[in-house]
Amino acid sequence: MCLHSFALTIQKTITRHFAENVAEDFESVAEAWEVTQKVTTIGTDCARTMIAAMRLLTFQHMPCLAHVLQRTITVCLADSGFTGTLARCRKIVGHFEHSPSNTEELHKEQTELEQDKEPLIQDVSTRWNSTLFMISRLLKNQEAVKATLAKQKHKLTMLTTAEWDRLQRLETLLKPCRYVTELLGGWLQHSTRALRT
């Protein structure tokens, strides 16, 4: 057996994302493609609107497990002792991300340290695993970041040695979550998404 994935439609939604409107969109696509009797399950993210819309339909609903895992990670990080450290990481990344001259100075330090010239990564709450990517890139470029900031006049609070150590532990904790998210996300994409709007 070989799984295949097809997009039945891509449509612009002009109505508000109320549950009733979302449910109608799903039904109209199923009817247009004459698959209403063939669809058994719809997989969606876990947004409240999507869950409410699925309750209005006759199809079974399968929440995306990768999305559930990512929401769990986000909530846990928000309630963890890492909040302050992650906020400082975001400010450091933003310092370089929003200034080409700062980025160029970072690249010079990376070259002097015989590292690849690569930008830092800003995490985004809706981008899965982006906190892990931000942490990993900062840890990889820790010396270049420290050296660059030491030469600049800035008001950033540099991470302490203890915070760098905590980031290392957090990276270790988040790596398996990335693997599971990517595994589940790929599997769900190919096997359970019956309709997408």
Stretch 36-47: mean pLDDT, rounded?
89
Stretch 50-55: mean pLDDT, rounded?
94
Residue 161 amino acid letter? T
Out of 19-23, 72-76, 152-156, 157-161, which region has the weakest mean confidence (pLDDT)?
152-156
Instruction: Count Cβ atoms within 10 A of the Cβ of residue 34 and give its class: 0-12 exposed, 13-18 middle, 19 or more buried.
Output: exposed
Element at 44 (helix H, strand E):
strand 41-44
Instruction: Count Cβ atoms within 10 A of the Cβ of residue 163 and give its class: 0-12 exposed, 13-18 middle, 19 or more buried.
Output: middle
Q: Which of the two residues, 51 and 182, has the higher pLDDT score?
A: 51
Q: Look at residue 181 and tell me whether its pLDDT is greater than 60.
A: yes
**CA angle (100, 103, 105) in 5-degree steps:** 115
Stretch 145-151: mean pLDDT, rounded?
93
Q: Which residue has the tokens 């690849």?
A: 116
Residue 189 amino acid letter? Q
Query: For 77-109, how does the pLDDT look when each residue is reduced to its tens digit (9 = 90+)?
Result: 888 889 999 999 999 999 999 999 999 999 999
Structure tokens given for 39: 């669809």
Out of 103-107, 111-115, 149-153, which region has the weakest mean confidence (pLDDT)?
149-153
Under the banding of pLDDT at 50, 70 and 90, the label for residue 186 is: low
Give, rounded to a whole angstrom, the gap between the first and last alpha carbons of the chain.
27
Q: Which residue has the tokens 């009817």?
A: 31
Residue 176 amino acid letter? P
Beta bridge partners of 62: 43
Under the banding of pLDDT at 50, 70 and 90, the label for residue 185 is: low
Strands 41-44, 60-63: pairing is parallel
Under the banding of pLDDT at 50, 70 and 90, the label for residue 193 is: very low
Element at 86 (helix H, strand E):
helix 83-97
Average pLDDT, the chain: 88
- Please choose, from the candidates 166, 162, 197, 180, the residue with its C-alpha nearest in 3D space to the C-alpha of residue 65: 180
